[in-house]
């Protein structure tokens, strides 16, 4: 099984350094540049499921010719399109995606990210929550990172302290923005739940079947995260998922006595944890909130000062993913060299590959 294979192209896979709903993250040593990276192992089957395959809006840049329906993209092409965009994201508060490897013979997709050795900014629960100054410094980074993602039409959907990594430059960088979270127009209209239960917004767990705004979900999770920063724990906790959902939907936010926080900070948290997404504070409003800007003395950069729209060419989409040579081919070459037999051992293999390429769906369902 390729998962147990320690070498993928120039990367040597080492210990597991993280786990999420999507799969695992492994430490990977790159022999070419003698550096370590974080390699996220994803399942293509799961990705396509997340897509609500096959209903998706057309990718950016595609123009439907007059009167014609735009040609629906194959689900995997959608994945490649999004990966091409993720690879071009470039922001001080976003973890950099280096490259993506695909093993056509297996269900795995490997995403190679910059390794941030300091790890998450905070483990929750924590006995040592941040003071307001430190919380403010880190939260300003998160707000700018999210503003950048939303500007690129990407919803994160899983903001929480363990996805906020500390860089060597002392800045927080947002990690684990996945594939399948991009939208068209001004905001995503979502209907499926994703993310971490304690950080989920009330509208995402209601059973009304109504769709909800993607940006407002990220704001709610940012509010839970800010609460964690200063209290070391989530505002809504229950050992049972239904109890947790009930608290998120009905219980008001309580501020424990043990940590005295400023009225401005309470105000910001309450506005982010507004149970009604229609009236919940938005990212542009958070940016000018007195707690974040010290009453306007330390304004955050304007959107146009730190955001430029990422555009991708067809060429970049085509090259967004590198293919790992299939293991059987490598083994066969070794066997041929041992036996010195140079017939065409690939015949069967080639026929199988050909079929799988013409109908990638079969491999992925």
Q: Is residue 40 marked as binding?
A: yes
> What CA–CA distance (Å, rounded) separates 120 from 135?
14
Report in angstroms the alpha-carbon separations of 138 from 15, 122, 125, 146, 165: 29, 11, 18, 13, 10
Hey, which residues does 114 pair with through a beta bridge? 37
Burial of 306 (0-12, 13-18, 19+ CB in 10 A): middle
Q: Dig out the tokens for 24 from the structure.
A: 């695992």
List of residues 6+ apart from 57 with CB closer than 8 A? 183, 184
141 is catalytic: no
Burial of 230 (0-12, 13-18, 19+ CB in 10 A): buried
Catalytic residue, candidates 141, 158, 176, 218: 158
Give the dihedral sign, CA 151/157/158/160: positive
Give the dihedral sign, CA 60/66/72/76: negative
Neighbours of 173 (CB within 10 A): 23
Q: Which residues are annotated as a binding site?
A: 40
Q: Which residues are annotated as a binding site for ATP?
A: 40
By annotation, the residues acting in catalysis are 158
């Amino acid at each position: 099984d390729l998962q147990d294979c320690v070498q993928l192209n120039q990367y040597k896979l080492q210990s597991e350094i993280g786990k999420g709903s999507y799969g695992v993250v492994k430490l990977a040593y790159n022999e070419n540049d003698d550096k370590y990276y974080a390699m996220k192992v994803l399942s293509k089957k799961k990705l396509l499921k997340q897509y609500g395959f096959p209903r998706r809006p057309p990718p950016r840049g595609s123009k439907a010719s007059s009167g014609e329906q735009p040609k629906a993209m194959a689900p995997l092409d959608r994945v490649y399109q999004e990966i091409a965009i993720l690879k071009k994201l470039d922001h001080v508060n976003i973890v950099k995606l280096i490259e993506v490897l695909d093993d056509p013979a297996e269900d795995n997709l490997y995403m190679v990210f910059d390794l941030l050795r300091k790890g998450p900014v905070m483990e929750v629960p924590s006995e040592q929550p941040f003071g307001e100054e430190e919380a403010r410094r880190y939260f300003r980074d998160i707000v700018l990172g999210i503003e950048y993602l939303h500007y690129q039409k990407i919803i994160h959907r899983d903001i929480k302290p363990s996805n906020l990594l500390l860089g060597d430059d002392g800045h927080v960088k947002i990690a684990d923005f996945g594939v399948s979270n991009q939208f068209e127009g001004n905001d995503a209209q979502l209907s499926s739940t994703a993310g971490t239960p304690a950080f989920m917004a009330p509208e995402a767990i209601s059973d009304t079947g109504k769709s909800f705004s993607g940006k407002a979900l990220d704001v709610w999770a940012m509010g839970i995260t800010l609460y964690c920063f200063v209290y070391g724990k989530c505002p809504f906790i229950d050992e049972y998922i239904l109890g947790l959902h009930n608290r998120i939907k009905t219980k008001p936010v309580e501020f424990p006595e043990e940590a005295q926080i400023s009225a401005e900070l309470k105000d910001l948290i309450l506005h982010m944890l507004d149970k009604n997404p229609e009236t919940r504070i938005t990212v542009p409003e958070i940016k000018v909130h007195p707690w974040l800007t010290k009453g306007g003395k330390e304004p955050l950069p304007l959107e146009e000062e730190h955001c430029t729209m990422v555009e991708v060419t067809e060429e970049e989409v085509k090259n967004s993913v590198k293919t790992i040579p299939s293991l059987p081919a490598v083994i066969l070459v070794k066997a041929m060299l041992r036996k010195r037999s140079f017939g065409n051992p690939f015949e069967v293999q080639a026929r199988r590959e050909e079929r799988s390429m013409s109908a990638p769906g079969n491999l992925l369902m």
